[in-house]
Structure 1
Amino acid sequence: METVILVIGVIGTISLMLFMSNQWLGYGKGNIVMTLDEHYTNLNEYVPAILTKLYEDGKSAHYLGDRKFEVNGKRYVLVERTVPIGRVPTQQTVLMPDKK
């Protein structure tokens, strides 16, 4: 009986860790996740790169200002993260639905 409880606990912990890592990486419901070719520190260069990527993906998009975008008629907020991909720090662009 103790072994069953231990196995269930381990499986539950692993499942929770996978779920939280997906949320941390931005793969939540309704998010648009992109990894661009370059790392951008200047918003004046970053925004056109995001818009170009969205256009390439066949989406209608424009920048509203203050890190907010409108993509296919829905409003999104820009959140950027640096995540390790293959042990290399990579800038990940996440557009999260605007809750306002």
Structure 2
Amino acid sequence: MGTGVQNEPVGRIPFDYESITVADSAIGGTAATYLEATRAEMTLETAQIRFRVDGTNPTSSEGHLVEVSDVIILNSAAQIANFKAIRTGATSGVLKVTYFH
């Protein structure tokens, strides 16, 4: 039985990390941090959020719903650059993000 921790993706090297507080305005990652990334793995803490990767901002009622402890995996530089998230309620969520080459 697994522990819930995934092994490092084959051929991918982690090179940076950030915490993103997801409040009541759509937010993405820090461009200077993810600039060279081709993959991102995120875990959600604190509160529910919604996200989109199509270049359109999510709203509190539109976008992919993410629950606390869920994992989000983005597999391309375009998905990472277009990623935006917003909280669904009064409490901000926190994403813990690792970026890979």
Q: What is the TM-score with the length of structure 2 in the denominator?
A: 0.27
Greater RCO between the two (CA within 8 Å, min separation 6)? Answer: 2
